[in-house]
Every structure is written in C-alpha cells, then in structure tokens.
Structure 1
C-alpha cells in the first residue's frame, strides 16, 4: 500500500512482519473458500517478505480472481476453483455478491464505519463481452463495465484506471498500474477496491501515547509510539499466544458492549454489520512464523480463537502504525496452482468475449495500506488483473550446445 497523505505522521516498524487481513468477513456463506485461501496467501507472502511488514486484503484478491474465473473454462477454470476452494463459478459469484451487499455494506449513515466497495471492468472497444459474462460481472460482482481504446490510447486508459482506483480508495492508493502494464495487446482490465474507516468503540487518549521498543523477529528493536489504555478489553489467553478483539463503533448507539454476546448468538443482521480488529499475539518475540503455520493448518483457527467477553487488563499497549504493501503477484498465483491462465498455449477464457477472442492472464497487481491510531483505523486495498491477446506465434526456442550433451546416431522408418 502506498502513502498519499503527507500530513499524516508515518510510523514504520520495518523488518518485522505484521499481518493484517483487510475486511475479511468472519461469517460467510457455506462453502466459501476465502479463509483457507487467505491463510495460504498469508504464508506465501510472509515467506516472500522474509521478515518485513505485510498488509493485504485476501477478500480483494479473492474477488478479483473469482471474476477472472467467471470467464474461464476447462483446465483453466479447474485451477481457479481448486485454489479458491469453490465447487463452481456460481458459488464464487454468490460469495462475492453476499460480501459486497453484506460485509462491505456501508454503515456510516447509522454511525458505524465508512465502508466502500467498487469493481470495474474495462474491455477493448473492438471486442464485445459475452452477455452472460457481463451479467455476472454487473449483478454478482457489482462491476461497472466500460469500453477503452487499448490499442491506440493504452496509456490514457492506464491513467484513467489509476484515477478510478485513487477515487475509490479516498486517495490512499494513488495508483496501482505501473508504466507498461497496459499496452496495445491489452484486452481486458478487471479491478476492485475496498475502503474502510472506523472509530474504536473504546478510543485511546492521545496524551497517553509514549515511545517504547518494538522487537523485531531477528531480536533487534526499533522505537515506536505505543497507545495505552486501562479500560477492559476483549482478550483471550491461549496456549502460546493471546488474542485481542477491538470493536469499532458499528452504530450511533454502539459502545462495544454488544460484543459481550457470543458470535453464535448474534442474528444475521448483526453478522453483516459488526467490524473489529483482531490481533493474534505470540507469547515469544519470534513466535509469529509458527503461529502462522497453526493458522494455515486449520481454516477455522481464527474464528475458533476469538474472544467473546471483555476482561480486566493490567498493562495494555498497542503500537500506532501505518503499513503499506505492493506486489505483482503472478508468481504467487502460479505457486498456489493458477498456471494455465498465464499460458499462451493452455489458457482458456472463451466465456469472456464473443467470437472466441484468444486471451491469457497478463498480470495480477495488489496494493494495500492501513493506518492505526488512537481514534481508529483507515485502510484501503485494490487488486487489478490485466488480460491480453495471446501471442500469434510461439516464442523462438534457444538451443546452445555449450555444455556436455548426449548424442546418438539413429535410423527412422527404414527396412524391416
């Protein structure tokens, strides 16, 4: 994620992994594969970052890949369904529709968090989307579709899409598509954005914020501002770690006490409207990697270990921070099992355009940013998938015999 507001004070806890999943619904339709996908992705990113800070939105990435899968067939579709842990394209569409209408529904008019979700589809003006694909994009993924002149005005299209992302994220993400990512062979660009701004039900007093050491995974430390409070908190103590749940104000008359109810006792309307930040804190300074392994091995781990009631706290400190993350994640997607989609030979996206346009997935970009302070949290995320026409001619093959090789004298098709 990228900083865009220079007036904000930046606090960077560099070289120590912090994980944040932006707006991951804790309740979801039966059969949704978001949680296992999120945990696998967290481990992949964490290994790649090698101890550096990490923040991303599994929901944004999941929804973007699901929209790509909506136009796929054959092996290409099978790989998407396997990675996203879904049985069909209809299941993916239903999950994203439910998330967009429920979990990502704005609560600001009721005094709760400001939440916004946007999805856009830009297709080359020389190609026509199939009615079924357009309908799925608009009805289930809540997308706006529009034509773009990628062949002649590809740079203008890139600027337009970046501007759309900036507006949808309240300028927290100024741009996501780098120069060269949109070109004359670009045929389709799929993008989504999530924005969140919420206030704590129990805010911190600014005058209580003090600097103290934040310990990195490698044993070193950096000075950072820490917020403090003596108010009761939702904390549970587990074997090897603690879990904190910090509710946001979810309505004008919400003071956080409604979180004392068990999640199972809340009705469906409550499930759609409650937000909190949940922090899993290992007991040891270097315990995060092993805790992530536990999370990945059990998809219900997060939900099973959330606090259900508040307790009296002794010393309670939490760092103020602003984290950002940006990644072209083609290699991560392929490592997870989405391979045919990137192949000029194997990719099958024949359910996207009329007249069987031959497409392949070009790039997947993700950017996220989050700021946590005494008042609450502001966060945004965006995922953009670009697609292009396949190469008409296969790439040339190199054959450079400059190292030991085997050779044979053979005869083919001779006399019996």
Structure 2
C-alpha cells in the first residue's frame, strides 16, 4: 500500500508540474495572438497514459518523463483509480456537479489491437474499443469519432477531428473527453451584475459584464498577486434528514475554480512565469480562509481553444512517439506486425468553458492519432475587507481539492471575445 501511495503522490505531482509547464507554453502562444486560453491538463495527462499503454523502450521513458510518472504501471493505476474512478466519477445523481469522462480507441480493421492494450482501454480506463475503416472510409470513420466526442461532452465539442484532413493510412486513434458542469456553492445574484471597464494587455479597454458579490470570499493576498477560490456545490444536502449519509459527502470530489489575479494590469506574463517556476506553486498559494470583501467583481466569460499540441509536447521533451520511423516504439498497440512503423501522427486537444452567475460548464477532448495567517488579541479586531477586482488579464484553474488534480486551466485576456 505504501508503494501505491508513493506512486499516486508522484503521479499527482507530475500532473501538476505538467499543467504548469503547459500553461506557460500555451499562454505564451495565445498571448502572442491576443487570444484567450482554455485547456485541460488532466485530459492531456490521461492522453499520455493512454499513449504509454502502447509504448516501450526509450519511447515509453520519454512519455513517463513528460507525464512525471515513475512507471507505466503506476501511471495507469493513478489514472484508473484516482482520475477515472474518483475525480471524474459522475456524481450528478446526488446533486451539484455533473462530471462525465469517456475514452476510446478506434482501430483500422486491418490491425486488431493487442489484448493487453485493449484491456487497458476497456478494463482500466472504462473506455471503448471500436473497429473502423480508415483506409476505405476515412471521412465516415472520423465522423463516427466526432459523434462520440459530441455525445461525451454534451454537445460542447462537436468536431475534434476534421474528417477531410486525416490520412487514409491512420491505424489507431485514441480520444478522451471530459465534460464538467458545476453550480457555485454560493451563486452570484444576476441583479447585481453590472457592465464595467476591463483593461487589455495592449492598454486598450472595453466594457464587459461583471458578476458582483458582497459575501465573504476565500482570497489569499501575496506579493504581486491575489488568489480567489470559488467552490462548487458538492451535492444537495438536507442537514436535518436522519438518513443523510456523511460518508457519501466526505468521499465526494470537491471542485473549485481558482483565479490568479496579478496586481499590475500588465502582470500576467510575470505571474505565469512564477506559477511555472516550481511544481508546488499552484497549490501552495491557494486561499485557506474566507475574508470580508470590499469591492468584488469577476467577469463572465466563455472560451474555446484547441488544435494540434504536438509541437508543444515536443518542446517538453516528448519526441520519439512522433517519429515516422521505427525509432517510435509503439509496438504495444497492434496485435500483428504492421506494414510500416507505428507512430503517433498527431495529438489534438480542444477545450471550452463558460462561466456565469450560476457556475460553469466546461469540456475538453484530447485525441492522439497513430499512423501506425491568524493572531490572538485580548479584544476582537474585525478583519480588513479585501478588494478583488478582476478588471485586467488573469489566470484561472479548476481543481479537485482532495486529490489536487488540475482539471482545466487558462487565462482571460478579453472576456468579450469568444474564441
């Protein structure tokens, strides 16, 4: 058991480190284009786990290094037990959050999957393994995958793959999708919503819709930035009911959106560099108590972001799986010897999120394509109210608090833009 706990801790630390590195990379690219950003570090981490199931040798070592996992077995166990069975388990039946996770493998009918690989997809990750005809019916095969993604994400992501842009030589496509819909534990009142000025990085400004509240909020003040934590409602609770199950409440995942707001209007890039400076930065700076607020405003926003992330993964050291030669050791996928080398042709990731007064809706899909402080006083001193006015670019993450998993992350440069 101790070894299992150690492996889980290592894999979770690896997932957090990957999230911070990807945030820095993606944010730099998106900022250069003036774009907002939303992605799912957890979805990408799961994609690496799926990739590792078919890899061997140095290819496997690269995948594990980027994922921050000690071994394939520990990474598989972490994703299966901590992610699939706990963090992403659907609890909509008890009220509060709706979370849906689905993963699948689609293989060309010429190349049946190895039993061990199929067992990992179906058994460990609770996914599906399907046979399609990429060679003779590539468009229909990819439409089938898109339909599956649309269903898994409740229609938030309707086209992950462009049916007309993929190769007929595709052997295997692996996709995982996450859908998340949560209500705030303390919803914002719509009658308090106002239009206010938001300042962009280029110095210009625009009027956008801000949510307001005068309730106590979980806010931490640090040197150069503040962090807000907005918890989601866990479940419908009738505290007076004699049949209320405390064990269910304690075992239910607890999610929160955390907003990292730099003090300076142009402080986003410096803050992101700090966040990527050490694996523990994200969790070490989260609020631990509620404080009274003075001015409190957070904009509504709706974001979508996606595309190929191969170059981004290569920049983190994941190179071998994408080599269209026999250097890519992905021999654990296909049952029989293929006519040519099996490698990962592309990894496509897409995510969307909408944040409003009631809560947020988010979805993500990742596809990999194989072509083969307190003090004591005598008298009570009331705490000083804290202002939190997100009127300039900021970072946000959605975390599962008991595990520390970072499910979504991104930045808002302009709340009025819906990419």
Q: CA deviation at 1:105?
A: 1.2
Equivalent pair of 2:323/2:343 in contact (CA under 8 Å): yes
Equivalent pair of 2:69/2:75 in contact (CA under 8 Å): yes
In structure 1, distance between residues paired with 2:19 and 2:98: 23
Q: Deviations along 1:272-302, whole A, 9 cap, x unmatched?
A: 5111111111111111111111111111111
- Structure-2 change in CA distance of 1:219 and 1:267 (3 Å): farther
Q: Does 1:75 align with 2:58?
A: yes
Partner of 1:232: 216
Q: CA deviation at 1:52?
A: 2.0
The equivalent position to 2:328 in structure 1, one of 347, 368, 371, is 347
Q: TM-score w.r.t. structure 1 length?
A: 0.81
Equivalent pair of 2:216/2:293 in contact (CA under 8 Å): yes
- Structure-2 change in CA distance of 1:235 and 1:115 (3 Å): same
Partner of 1:30: 9
Q: CA deviation at 1:269?
A: 7.1
Partner of 1:405: none
Secondary structure (helix, strand or coil) at the match of 2:336 reads: helix
Q: CA deviation at 1:363?
A: 0.9
Q: CA deviation at 1:178?
A: 1.2
Secondary structure (helix, strand or coil) at the match of 1:316 reads: strand
In structure 2, distance between residues paired with 1:75 and 1:127: 24
Partner of 1:160: 144
Alignment of 1:176-187 (within 5 A): 176-187=160-171
Equivalent pair of 2:100/2:179 in contact (CA under 8 Å): yes
Q: CA deviation at 1:310?
A: 1.1
In structure 2, distance between residues paired with 1:211 and 1:35: 35
Secondary structure (helix, strand or coil) at the match of 1:314 reads: strand
In structure 1, distance between residues paired with 2:359 and 2:214: 17
- Say how many residue pairs are matched: 352
Q: TM-score w.r.t. structure 2 length?
A: 0.81
RMSD over aligned CA atoms reads 1.8
Which sits farther off after the overlay, 324-333 or 34-43?
A: 324-333
In structure 2, distance between residues paired with 1:308 and 1:271: 20
The equivalent position to 2:20 in structure 1, one of 28, 32, 39, is 39
Q: Deviations along 1:41-71, whole A, 9 cap, x unmatched?
A: 0111111112421110010111012201211
Q: CA deviation at 1:189?
A: 0.5
Secondary structure (helix, strand or coil) at the match of 1:30 reads: helix
Which sits farther off after the overlay, 175-184 or 74-83?
A: 175-184
In structure 2, distance between residues paired with 1:43 and 1:254: 43
In structure 1, distance between residues paired with 2:167 and 2:268: 41
Please, which runs of 5 or more residues in structure 2 have no aligned partner? 1-6, 240-245, 373-419
Alignment of 1:324-343 (within 5 A): 324-343=304-323
In structure 2, distance between residues paired with 1:88 and 1:267: 32
Q: Does 1:383 align with 2:366?
A: yes
Q: Does 1:130 align with 2:114?
A: yes
Q: CA deviation at 1:106?
A: 1.4
Q: Does 1:112 align with 2:82?
A: no
Q: Deviations along 1:172-229, whole A, 9 cap, x unmatched?
A: 1111101334332010010011001111111111121111111112222121100111
Equivalent pair of 2:8/2:74 in contact (CA under 8 Å): no
Alignment of 1:290-305 (within 5 A): 290-305=270-285
Q: Does 1:139 align with 2:123?
A: yes
Equivalent pair of 2:143/2:163 in contact (CA under 8 Å): no
Query: By percentage of residues, which structure has more strand?
Result: 2
Partner of 2:72: 89
Please, which runs of 5 or more residues in structure 1 have no aligned partner? 1-27, 256-265, 390-416
Secondary structure (helix, strand or coil) at the match of 1:135 reads: helix
- Structure-2 change in CA distance of 1:297 and 1:268 (3 Å): farther
